[in-house]
Amino acid sequence: MELLFTVAPSLRAVTEPSKTLDLIDQHTRRGGVERRRHDALLYLLHSWVADRCGGKEIMRDMPLAHLGNLAETKNVKKRSRRVDLSFIRDGRLKLVEITVVRDVALSSRIAEKVDKYSDLVESLSNSPWALERGLDIDDVAVIAMGVLGTVPECTRDSLRTLGFETGEIEELVKEMQLCVLRYNLGPFIDEKKPVQRGTYMRRRQQLHRQRQPAKP
C-alpha cells in the first residue's frame, strides 16, 4: 500500500475507497493504458536482460518462426505463436511472457499462460535450428504482476530462471512495480510533481537529453 502512496500521494486523501478502486479498474482496462504499460514493462525487462543478465540475441515480440529456420516447424510456424521476449544465455533459449492483470486474477492468468505455451519446449527442441546450435529450450517464464503492484512468488522464480541473482530480483521487482503503477494510477498522479521512475527510466531520460542538439 505504501508503494501506491509513493506513486500517487493524493490517494491518502481518498474518502470513498470503493469508488476509487472502480475508477482505477476502469482506467487500467483502457486499451491505450494496457498497451503503454505492457510496452514499458517489456522495455524495462529487455534493458535488465541486456545489462545485468548477459542475454544474447535478444528479441522483443518476435514470431517464433523468425528465430531461425522454423517456418515449417510444428506449432511454431503460425505468426500468432510469439512471446514477448526471447534471448540466449549459457546455451539455453529463454522465452518470456509478460502479463498484468487484476490482482485477484493472477493465479488463473498464470495458469492460462503456462498452458498456452506448454508445447513450445518440445517443438523448439526438435527444430533443426535448435539442434544445429546445440541449444536447450527452457519453459516459458511468465512474468506476472497485479494492476495494484502485487508480485506473486512465481514471478520471482521466473526471474531467477532467467539468470538474475536474488539481490537483482528484488531491485528489478521494485522497478517493475513503479513502472506498472505509474500507468495504472494515472488519474491520481500529480503531473506537476516528478514521479519516481526507477533507474531504467532515468537512463532513458538521460539518453534523450544527450541526443538533443546543443543550443547555439
Could you please report the per-residue DSSP string of 82-130? EEEEEEEETTEEEEEEEEEE-GGGHHHHHHHHHHHTTTHHHHHHTSHHH
Q: Cβ neighbours of residue 33 under 8 Å, at least 6 residues apart?
A: 27, 183, 184, 186
> pTM for the whole thing?
0.78
Give the mean model confidence (pLDDT) for residues 127-146: 91
Write down the pLDDT at residue 26.
Answer: 86
d(CA 163, CA 138): 12
- Percent of all residues in the chain with a pLDDT value above 70, rounded to a whole number: 80
Q: Which amino acid is at 9?
A: P
Q: What is residue 11's predicted lDDT score, i.e. its pLDDT? A: 82
Q: Distance (Å, rounded) from C-alpha 154 to C-alpha 160?
A: 10
**Contact (CB, 8 A) for 92 and 135:** yes
Overall average pLDDT of the 179-196 stretch? 72
Whether 191 shows a pLDDT value over 80: the answer reads: no
Residue 48 has pLDDT above 50, yes or no: yes
pLDDT for 194 equals 44
pLDDT above 70 for 195: no
Contact 163, 53 (CB under 8 A): yes
**195-202 long-range contacts, CB within 8 A, separation 24+:** 195/7, 196/6, 196/7, 198/44, 198/174, 199/175, 200/43, 200/44, 200/47, 200/48, 200/175
Mean pLDDT across 14-38: 85
Q: Compute CA distances 24 → 17, 36, 59, whole Å.
A: 10, 16, 32
Looking only at Cα atoms, what is the longest distance across the chain? 62
- Mean pLDDT confidence for 25-45: 90
pLDDT at residue 70 above 90? Answer: no
